[in-house]
Amino acid sequence: MQGVLTHPSHFVLWLLFALTSADLPMCKESDYHFEYTECDVLGSRWRVAVPNKADICTGLPDPVKGTQCTFSCSDGEFLDMQLQECQKCAAGTYSLGTGVAFDEWDSLPTGFVTHGETVNYGDVHTDCSNSTWTPQGDYIASNTDECTAVLSYAVSLKKAGSVSFEYFYPDNSIYFEFFVQNDKCQSTDSENRWMKISDSNWSKYTLNNGNNVLFWRTTTYSLQGTVVKPVLLRNIAILGVAYTSECFYCKPGTYSAKPGSAHCAPCPADTYSTKGATVCHQCEPDKYAEAGSGSCKPRPACTNSDYFYTHTPCDSEGKTQVMYKWIEPKICNETIDGAATLPASGERQTCPPCNPGFFVTNSSNCEPCADGFFSNGTACAECPVGTEPVVGFEYKWWNTMPSNMKSSMYKQEFSRSDYAWEVAGEYVYTTPGDQDTDYLMLTLHVPGYRLPQSVAKDSERKELSRITFVFETVCSADCSFYFLAGYNQLNNELVEQWKGSSRKQSYSYLIQSNSTVSFTWTFQRAEKYSADVAKIYSIHITNVVGGVASHCQRCALSSSEPGSDCVPCPPGHYMVNGTGVCRSCPPNTFIRAGQPVGEAACVECGPNTKTNQAHSACLSDCKLDLWTREGAQLQYDFSPLANVTGFYSSPRFTSKGLRYFLRFNVGLCGKEVRKVPATCVGNVTESGREVKGYVCQSTVVPSEIRSQSVVSSQPFLIGDSLIGVTTVTILNGISSPEWLFPHSSVAALSDVIFYYKSSETTQACKQGRSATIRLRCNPTVTAKDQFTLPSNCSEGTCDGCTFHFLWQSQHACPLCTKHHYREIVSACVQGIQRTTYVWQQPLWCYGGETLPPLKVNACVTLDFWLKFGVSVGTIAAVLLISISCYFWKKTRKLQYKYSKLMMTSGGKECELPTADSCAIMEGEDAEDDLVDLTKKSFFTKIRSFSRERHLQCCKLTSFDFLLKELAGKVAFLNVAG
């Protein structure tokens, strides 16, 4: 105080406060409460009195030193701030010690805030102001429209703590997340914030010291427009606060009989309690109450829906009978007029045989056969040498519920009953119920799977196990029957559902992973007290660890590993029926799934496919040879398209305009099965379902809905086996009409079509799904991922079972060869000639051979050849003229000789002159030499004189011979000239 009065202004303020306080009454304990100040660096704090309302009293207690900041009370205790000591809670109340709990939801508890967030895409705006979490008594329910509902609670922790809550999350159309944001703006890791789909589950999260804000957020995404089941939340408990200064009253329907209770116990059935009760009160005889009820209700008159029938277990005499029982707990009154009474039990009948793989004991009970034995339901027999048991579970007689199956009823109010499914001899059925919101569940637990020894080495076999069941539903309206698979022992995911009445039918589901550990059949009625019923006649699951055998299968009698009685046939071989002899399958065939027995096990591969080494499937090595109608060979290489490729459909919208996409993953081809499959994952929940095959589909939600880049759900397989690769439009009953993807112009090449088939069957696709992928040559497409869906079937399918895709790419064109280009030869320019190669247009090939390089050759120009030709022609002309002159001159000489002979004949008819000499040769002219002797040279004269002397000695004896010779020469010279 002295420090305050040291300043004049402080003194004035104190004086005003004293004068004002003098007019107020002294504070009573009810006018104020105690709080602790913030802890200092030494871990100390002060207790101060804080008035409940301002300016109502004076004389508050002075601050006193408080407890250490690490101080806390145990469960069932509270901190008495007056004494600063822990005290036990009184009976009828409870305390968590260092925590707070919220188990009443008649209204939103103090500190909780809920609001709706609008999800907008483009021009679509949805009003989400009323999309909030709604308190509904024992729990709080999320929204069910296409908005985001947020529930938050802020808490300040003095030490590390935790939060726990119980939730009901049955519908995968809602994305449910829980995350914590601390005072450092750090949020829960996105991978750990998503809740697992489950009927009921506890979940705990670690909280840090300091301020924490808890968020529960749901976003509904109803793609099919069906009714969505909300997320239900209750029993939120937060630990880590420093203390609680008060105890909480037990809510109605619960009680705590002793002081110091950490929680309140629910009242048993037919009892009730009010708020803060220490005991539960019994209902009156004509009234009833369910467990945990705050009041009693009048008992209604009993009806046929209040009892059920069952078959009793076989007694020591092997007899059974139909017996009727009231549904427990019994709430109806059978003494009221017109009330139904329990029918009498049926007559005792002989028990049916045990299920396959079991045998009847002396006490008429059914026990499983030992390992290596098999049974048809009567007695066990050992498998012969060279055979192995085919293990699994096959249930077709229902006198008792199998030990690995459990029946339960789940209500949204979190109450349970064990009378949901009952045995009825030839089937198991759903018992009557009083609510249409009840879920009647039958769960089968499986420890694991193991392939038979004869096929265990086949690592490429896809079918690890298969479950097949026969069922029937009879409904008055739109009831629902669900089949769910449990993954990783944490959650169930919907596999298939049926609406309304369904005739007796069989359904099979392939199991591809050992993480599938349970199967659940769930039935929900359409109306209260209705006669809607679901029946399951048989369940058969194969290759189960710890299963029993109904028969044994033969094995190949050949060398095997030590200690092995069963040896499989070599790859590509089948077993002859009734023997242990293996025979080879025809070339290019594969073995059907399961034990290969008989020639029918060999299945021929489709066109342009080859069997793998294990002979378990047919593959395409991504290479293909085709022949055109003209006889030309086309070679294709789809290896650049072999990697798994994903693509999206065009945006689709729900009824309220929210956007989503369909994602398709495609593994076109490959040399090995393990390298081909595409994978689709549903990551709505933490575990996530995964499917693998050639073609698969999942639904993708925009990232704005959830705080991660890709959100996919509802994955399913379209094709897990390759049927064939061809250009024909129909293969094995699968059609790919050309009108789905018409060509923009007259195409030079036919599309290459890949055909796929899936072995998974659904209610709508009883023969399984299938897919066709058309590869169309388009050299202008530089990207390899140009996929197109049919324009009139925007989801890729027109009937929901057969999917069609068009893939345009350069790599869908045949490889280029020398027939795809031509050469262009240029003119000879300056002694150089160039040869250029260009592609034929339009070009319908890609890759393969490349264009040859430019060729350059030496050549002779046209001017040279012209000059050469003129010169040769001139020489030839001169030579021809010379020869003509020469023969003309010769002819003249012969004519002259002939004329002279004719003149020297003496004029006598038929007499010719005799030749002077036979020595006159061709080209010689003796007469000319004699006549012109005076004109010749000296040597010429001597030669002429000598020739004359010789002619006189050699005269011809016959003038006819000379004449003929001269005539022949004349004719020859005329021809030559």
Of the candidate ranges 118-132, 510-524, 636-650, 652-666, the one whose mean pLDDT is the lowest? 118-132
CA neighbor of 169 nearest in space, from 406, 521, 439, 420: 439
Q: Which residues pair with 966 in a beta bridge?
A: none
CA neighbor of 572 nearest in space, from 513, 539, 637, 616: 616
**pLDDT for position 387:** 80
Give residue-wise pLDDT tens across range 125-141. Answer: 667 878 899 998 888 99
Q: How many Cβ atoms are within 10 Å of 800's Cβ, its own excluded?
A: 12
Per-residue pLDDT for 224 more than 80?
A: no
Q: CATH says 99-241 is which class?
A: mainly beta
**pLDDT for position 922:** 45
The two three-digit tokens of residue 893, written as one number: 């000489």
**Residue bearing the bigger pLDDT, 322 or 956:** 322
Residues 806/871, Cβ–Cβ less than 8 Å = no
Of all helices (H) and strands (E), which one includes residue 878?
helix 862-903
**Measured between alpha carbons, how far is 710 from 665 in angstroms, rounded to an integer?**
14
Exposed (0-12), middle (13-18) or buried (19+): which is 590, by Cβ within 10 Å?
buried
Residues 72/243, Cβ–Cβ less than 8 Å = yes
Q: What is the mean pLDDT of residues 691-715?
A: 75
Per-residue pLDDT for 707 more than 60?
A: no
**Measured between alpha carbons, how far is 30 from 33 in angstroms, rounded to an integer?**
8
The two three-digit tokens of residue 232, written as one number: 């239900």
Of all helices (H) and strands (E), which one includes residue 439?
strand 439-445
**pLDDT for position 273:** 95
Residues 884/850, Cβ–Cβ less than 8 Å = no
**Measured between alpha carbons, how far is 796 from 786 in angstroms, rounded to an integer?**
14
Q: Which residues pair with 48 in a beta bridge?
A: 35
Q: Does residue 254 sit in helix, strand or coil?
A: strand
**SS3 per residue for 41-76:** CCCCCEEEEEECCCCCCECCCCCEECCCCCCCCCCC
pLDDT band, very low/low/confident/very high, at 189 (cuts 50, 70, 90): low
Give residue-wise pLDDT tens across range 904-963. Answer: 655 555 455 554 444 444 444 444 443 444 444 544 554 554 555 444 444 444 445 555
Give residue-wise pLDDT tens across range 83-100. Answer: 888 899 999 999 988 888
The two three-digit tokens of residue 785, written as one number: 């991922």
pLDDT band, very low/low/confident/very high, at 373 (cuts 50, 70, 90): very high
**SS3 per residue for 180-235:** EEECCCCECCHHHCECCCEEEEEEEEEECCEEEEEEEEEEECCCCCCCCCCCEEEE
Specify the CATH superfamily of domain 385-552: Galactose-binding domain-like (2.60.120.260)
Of all helices (H) and strands (E), which one includes residue 265?
strand 265-266
**What's 343's DSSP letter?**
P
Give residue-wise pLDDT tens across range 855-902. Answer: 888 876 656 667 778 888 889 988 888 888 888 888 877 777 777 777
Whole-model pTM: value is 0.66
**pLDDT for position 290:** 84
Q: Which residues pair with 648 in a beta bridge?
A: 663
Q: How many Cβ atoms are within 10 Å of 591's Cβ, its own excluded?
A: 24
The two three-digit tokens of residue 23, written as one number: 């007019």
Per-residue pLDDT for 538 more than 70?
A: yes
pLDDT band, very low/low/confident/very high, at 469 (cuts 50, 70, 90): very high
Per-residue pLDDT for 348 more than 70?
A: yes
CA neighbor of 709 nearest in space, from 191, 9, 77, 173: 191
Of the candidate ranges 6-15, 45-54, 201-210, 785-794, the one whose mean pLDDT is the lowest? 6-15
CA 193 to chain centre: 24
**Measured between alpha carbons, how far is 888 from 868 in angstroms, rounded to an integer?**
30
Per-residue pLDDT for 501 more than 70?
A: yes
Of the candidate ranges 180-189, 308-317, 338-347, 617-626, the one whose mean pLDDT is the lowest? 180-189
Distances (CA, A) of 489 to 164, 411, 451, 515, 959: 20, 21, 21, 8, 140
**Measured between alpha carbons, how far is 203 from 193 in angstroms, rounded to an integer?**
11
- Of all residues in the chain, what percent are helix, strand and coil, respectively (each to 5)? 15, 35, 50
**Residue bearing the bigger pLDDT, 594 or 274:** 274
**Measured between alpha carbons, how far is 409 from 473 in angstroms, rounded to an integer?**
18
Q: Pairing relation of β-strands 174-182 and 210-220?
A: antiparallel
Q: Which residues pair with 674 in a beta bridge?
A: none
**Residue bearing the bigger pLDDT, 277 or 328:** 277
Q: Pairing relation of β-strands 254-255 and 134-135?
A: unpaired
Distances (CA, A) of 305 to 332, 335, 533: 10, 16, 11
Distances (CA, A) of 234 to 159, 181, 734: 24, 21, 52
Q: Which residues pair with 787 in a beta bridge?
A: 807
pLDDT band, very low/low/confident/very high, at 727 (cuts 50, 70, 90): very high
Exposed (0-12), middle (13-18) or buried (19+): which is 64, by Cβ within 10 Å?
exposed
**Measured between alpha carbons, how far is 321 from 15 in angstroms, rounded to an integer?**
96
Pseudo-torsion of CA 611, 613, 619, 622, nearest 10°? -120
Residues 418/441, Cβ–Cβ less than 8 Å = no
**Measured between alpha carbons, how far is 556 from 725 in angstroms, rounded to an integer?**
34
**Measured between alpha carbons, how far is 926 from 954 in angstroms, rounded to an integer?**
14
**Measured between alpha carbons, how far is 537 from 427 in angstroms, rounded to an integer?**
4
Q: How long, in residues, is the chain? A: 977
Q: What is the average pLDDT value for the chain, to the nearest integer?
A: 79
How do the domains of the chain map onto residue ranges?
99-241, 385-552, 623-812, 821-858
**pLDDT for position 730:** 93
Q: Does residue 141 sit in helix, strand or coil?
A: strand
Specify the CATH superfamily of domain 623-812: Mannose-6-phosphate receptor binding domain (2.70.130.10)
Exposed (0-12), middle (13-18) or buried (19+): which is 6, by Cβ within 10 Å?
exposed
- Asked if 99-241 and 385-552 have one fold, the answer is yes
**Measured between alpha carbons, how far is 960 from 975 in angstroms, rounded to an integer?**
23
Place of tokens 């393990």: 674
With a pLDDT cut of 90, the percent of the chain lying above it is 20
pLDDT band, very low/low/confident/very high, at 511 (cuts 50, 70, 90): confident
User: Mutual orientation of helices 862-903 and 959-976 as an angle, nearest 10°?
Assistant: 160
The two three-digit tokens of residue 16, written as one number: 């005003």
pLDDT band, very low/low/confident/very high, at 598 (cuts 50, 70, 90): low
Q: Which residues pair with 409 in a beta bridge?
A: 417, 440
**Measured between alpha carbons, how far is 602 from 792 in angstroms, rounded to an integer?**
39
Per-residue pLDDT for 650 more than 80?
A: yes
**pLDDT for position 7:** 43
CA neighbor of 303 nearest in space, from 346, 332, 330: 332
